[in-house]
Amino acid sequence: MSLSYNGTNVTSVRGDARFHAPVAAPRGFTDRVLIWWREVDKWLLGLVILLMALGTIAVAAASPAGGKQYGVEEFAFLKRHVAFQGMGLAMMIGISFASREDARRLGILLAVVMLFLLLLVPLIGAEKNGARRWLNVGMSLQPSEFLKPGFAILLAWMLSWRMRDASLPVLGYATLTMALVAALLMLQPNLGATILFGGVWFVLVLLSGVSLAKMGALVATGMGGLTATYFLYDNARHRIDSFLGGGTAYDQVYLAERTLTAGGWTGSGLWLGTRKMQLPEAHTDYIFSVIGEEFGLLACAVILLLYVAIITRALVRLVDEENLFALLASAGLATLIGGQAFINMAVNLQLFPSKGMTLPLVSYGGSSTLAVCLTFGLLLAITRRNPFLKRERPGLKDLLGRSAKASNSKVRT
């Protein structure tokens, strides 16, 4: 018996009898919303919306400092942030309606387009604070921000080919892609983003089941490249030297750490902080310090735990995921969010040199906010599942177990 999905009667044959079977009409908008609500990870969606709400409060606290630095009305950045948050939320929910296949296609297309724009940045990009990372397209667009989710999905797609044909050199393809992205980013230069992309590459390659010997060789190569960066790029060398020995970049990190701890455990209160007014980029790179001064270290701990809850929830969703692409893509997107948050908070705690990286969904940002919302939209779309379907294999647990067994067997041989 054969049926079509066009909403028409279909002729079926059962023995000698022919009959016409009605097929259900295409689902309307209401049905699609109900299906989406049943399949989407409501806990993850709720945590993301809560983080966006807390981010709006944080930008409200930091906006006067940003307004003073840039000579604009004190709540100008808050007004823009609310507008970008609204657009980002609409984008995130809209993308989360996409099927897993459509999300994969969107991610790959995004990666290709942003790689092309990244090629243009060194040629026609706008320069700010000694770095050329932006394109002026009516608004300030940073292609590397939108490349992040596309890169994770592109790598996941490449590495998932391993399930179809184990002889394909997927590790080589993924490594060449990483090398291309790293080269384009260091032309800006943008060491922080290069490290973040490298972290995503490392996690996905590790999950794909590469042997420990190959992984060790690749990591050694990466460390060699990072060491070469210190000697070849003045910007990176100056930031690292300043962090270790004092200087302009170190002064910023020092001010951030002092601002973060100035409010004690409970903070000085909304708009009552004073150290933030001397802190550069208080509404973007160092907003975590503003939270510490005005809302206290306990509020900083809440923000940290919220990121941990988001990443944990995304990984829990993958425990029984059977589709290798979905598993790798979701892990890569979660690594992006967690890695960026970790780097930003480490800079504010004076553990890393200044990186010029925002705190996802908390810092003020135009293209940054939209890119993070896009990332979460793709994550929600890829992790959607019918709750009534039972999984037969423990996805992430099974993958890690097989990878460990494969590595151990190669070591023994």
Looking up tokens 């020092």, which residue turns up? 254
Peptide bond into 189 cis (omega under 30): yes
**328-347 residue pLDDT tens:** 999 999 999 999 999 999 98
Q: Which amino acid is at 245?
A: G
Q: Which two tokens stand for residue 253?
A: 């990190």
Per-residue confidence band for 291, with pLDDT thresholds at 50, 70 and 90: very high
Cα separation of 252 and 355, whole Å? 11
Q: What is the pLDDT of residue 231?
A: 66
Mean pLDDT, to the nearest integer, of 34-55? 94
Q: Which amino acid is at 30?
A: T
Cα separation of 68 and 211, whole Å? 53
Question: Looking at the predicted structure, is the pLDDT value of residue 59 above 90?
Answer: yes
Q: What is the pLDDT of residue 264?
A: 87
Per-residue confidence band for 136, with pLDDT thresholds at 50, 70 and 90: confident
Helical ranges in 162-266 per DSSP H: 170-186, 191-207, 212-232, 234-245, 248-262
**With b meaning 16 or more CB within 10 Å and e meaning fewer, what string describes 264-278?**
eeebbeeeebebbee
Q: Which two tokens stand for residue 363?
A: 């810092």
Q: What is the pLDDT of residue 189?
A: 81
Cα separation of 397 and 412, whole Å? 23
Q: Which amino acid is at 345?
A: M
Cα separation of 250 and 176, whole Å? 34
**What percentage of the chain has pLDDT greater than the value 70?**
80
Tally helices (H) and strands (E) across the chain: 15, 5
Cα separation of 22 and 349, whole Å? 64
Question: In this structure, are residues 309 and 47 in contact, taking their beta carbons and an 8 Å threshold?
Answer: yes
Cα separation of 41 and 47, whole Å? 10
Cα separation of 12 and 19, whole Å? 6
Q: Which amino acid is at 1?
A: M
**158-212 residue pLDDT tens:** 998 877 777 778 888 998 999 999 999 988 888 889 999 999 999 998 888 776 6
**295-324 residue pLDDT tens:** 999 999 999 999 999 999 998 888 878 888
**98-128 residue pLDDT tens:** 999 999 999 999 999 999 999 998 888 887 7
**15-44 residue pLDDT tens:** 444 444 444 445 688 889 999 999 999 999
Domain regions of the chain by residue span: 1-39, 41-383+391-412
More confident residue, 31 or 231: 31
Query: If we measure between CA atoms, which residue out of 134, 356, 347 comes closest to residue 235?
Result: 356
Cα separation of 151 and 3, whole Å? 38
Per-residue confidence band for 413, with pLDDT thresholds at 50, 70 and 90: very low
**342-366 residue pLDDT tens:** 999 998 888 887 777 899 999 998 8
